[in-house]
Chain A
Amino acid sequence: MANKQDNAANEQARVDEATGTEFVGHEWDGIEELDTPMPRWWVWSFYATIVWGIVYVILYPAWPMIEKGTEGVLGWSSRGQFAEEMQAEEARRAPLMAALARIPIERLPENSEQMRAAIAGGAAAFKVNCVQCHGAGAAGSKGYPNLNDDDWIWGGDLKAIEYTLTHGIRWSGSDETRLSYMPAFGRDGMLTRDQISDVTSHVLSLSGNSEPNANGAAIYDTQCAFCHQPSATGNRDLGAPNLADAIWLYGGSRAEVEQQIYNPAHGAMPGWKDRLNPVTIKMLAAYIHSRGGGEDFVEVAADPEVQVDEQP
C-alpha cells in the first residue's frame, strides 16, 4: 500500500497495524507495549484515591517533620486510642474488681466465676512482680520457696497466702510481717561441730536419708523440738519448717543441712501492701493457691454480708 505514508507515520509515532493504537516505545523480547487508554471508571477510581489520600493527610497524623509529625485536624493518635481502650477495659472490669474487693478471700472459692477471674488476674500480676525470685513457673529455687508444692512454712490456705503477700517475710516495712529466726547454733557456739553432725544425722533420718543417731535425737529434743515440734513436722505459727518431709528450702544434702544449723540463712520477702492494691494481692493469692498445692480452710467464717454465686 502507501509505503511513504507508513514511513512518515513511523517517524512521528509508530502505530500497531492491527489495532491502530500507538506504541509507547517499550519492548521486551519483541513484545511491545501499546498506548491503550485506561477505562474511565479506572481513571476516576485512581483520582478518588488521590483525593482520599489528601483528605487523610489533613485529617490524620501523616507527614513526618523534623521534630514531630503533623498531627491532623481530627486530633487522633494511636497513643490516644490506646489510652481510650485501656480506660474502656478498666471500666469493663470495674464491676468485677469491685466484687473482688468486697468479697473476703475465704469466700472466693465458692464463687467460681470470680475465682477464675482472680486466678487469671493473679497469673498476670505474678509475671510482673514475682517471677524474679520464684521463677516463671513458680517453682522457686534454693532459698526461694517452690509455690507449686504442698509444703507451706507459714500456711497454704488462701488467707495465709494473702497475709504473707501483704506483709512479707522478715520485711521491715510492716509491723505485722512474718518473723522468725533460727539461732546460729554453730556460729554462736551453742553446739559443737560434732553435735551439729549428730543432729544433722538425726534430722536426715526423719525422712529416711540417713541412719538414726541417738545422740543427735537427744540434742534435737532439747534444742530443736520447741520450734520444730517433737515430731519434727514444724510449726506454722513460728514459721518453723517441717523437717520430716522431702522438701528442703535450703537444700537437703548433708552439707547444706549442717550449714543451715551452723549459721542459718534467713530469706526475706517484701510485703506488697504498699505497692499492690488489695485486689491484686487477693488475685495473686488465688493464683498461687491454684498452682496445685493450695490448702483448704479449716473453717470458713459465715458472713451474711457476702454475696455468693447464685448459680446452681
Chain B
Amino acid sequence: MDEALLRTLTPTVIGILVRRGADFAAAEDAVQDALVEAVRVWPGGPPRDPQGWLVTVAWRKFLDATRADTSRQRREVLVEAEPVAGPGEAVDDTLQLYFLCAHPSLTPASAVALTLRAVGGLTTRQIAQAYLVPEATMAQRISRAKRTVSGVQFNQPGDVATVLRVLYLVFNEGYSGDVDLAAEAIRLTRQLAAKINHAEVAGLLSLMLLHHARRPARTGPDGRLVPLAEQDRGRWNTRLIAEGVDVLQIALASDRLGEFQAQAAIAALHADARKAEETDWVQIVEWYDELVRLTDSPVARLNRAVAVGEADGPRAGLAALAELDPALPRYTAVAAYLHERDGDLVTAARLYAEAARSAPNLPEREHLTRQAARLNLLK
C-alpha cells in the first residue's frame, strides 16, 4: 500500500470535507478514521480512485459521528443546507490547513502535532512514536490543539513565518520511531513551496535539502557524531545538494532575503567544498554577518565566531567569542575548539569536559567526552 500517497491526500480530503460543511475538528477526526480504514483495507486491493475513496469513507465517518453527536440536529441541518461539492481542486484549502495548524494561538508542540496529523497525514501513534511520548499523551495534545483552533475561520489569511517555524521544528526532530520526521518536513515544505511563491519558503526548503543531503555522513555506524570537517563527503547526497542550490538561487534572485535563505547559503558553501580545507570561510563569515543583521540571534553570533576562527585564525575567533554571553548553549564547546586550534590543549581539554557535562543530547555529550579524552592523551 502506498502510505506516502495516503499522506499526500490527507489535507486535500480534509479541505473537501470542510467545504462540504464539516467543521475542522470533525473533518480531521473523520479523515483519521478513513486513513486507519485505508491502512486496513487497501493492501487487499487498492481503489482505482484513492482520493474519491477517502472522501467517500471520510464523509460517511463524519455523518456517523454527527448523527451520534448530541448536537446532531443542528449539524444535520447544516450538512443538508451545504451544497455537496465533488472531490475536485482543493489547493487553496490545503494551504489554509497549513496556516490553521500553525496558528499562533497554539504552543509549538501542539502546532507540530496538529500539522503532522492534519497536513502530514500521520497517525497519532506514529507521531507519538516519533516524539517518544505515550500515544494517549499525543492524542490529548492533538485534541487540545483542535479545540484551540476551533473558533478560527478556515479562510482567514495565515502567517507564513509561523508555518515555517513549525516545519523547521519538525525537521530538527530528525529521526525516531518508524517515521523520518526530517523527510516528512521536507515533503510538507515542498508541497507548501509548490502552492505559494515566497522566498523564505524556498529558503527553508533549500536549507532542509542541503542539511538532509549530509545526513548519511553525519553519524558513524555506531551512532557516533561525525563533525563536518571529518565527514566522508563521498557520502553526501549530490542530487539533494544540487536541488537545494537550485532552489536557493531562485529564491535569492527574488531579492527578498530572510534568515532561512542566509542559513541555506551557508549550508550551500559547505556543500560546495570537495574537501574541508577548500571551504570558503570568508564568504561564510559574510553570510553570518547577514544572518546576525536579520535575526540578531546569539546563536548566529556564536556560529559566526567559529567561522571567524576559520577565516582569520583562532585568536580572532576567540575575540569574537569574548563579546558573547558564556551562558549560551554550546559556548563552552566553541571555546574549547578555538583554544585547541590556538594550541592551548590544557584549556581546551578542560573546556571540552565541561561542555560534555552540559551537552543537550547524548551523541554530543559522547563526542565532547571523546574530544576531551583525545586532548588529555596529547598534553
The reply to whether chain A is a binding partner of chain B is: no
Please list the residues of chain A having a beta carbon within 8 angstroms of any beta carbon in chain B: none
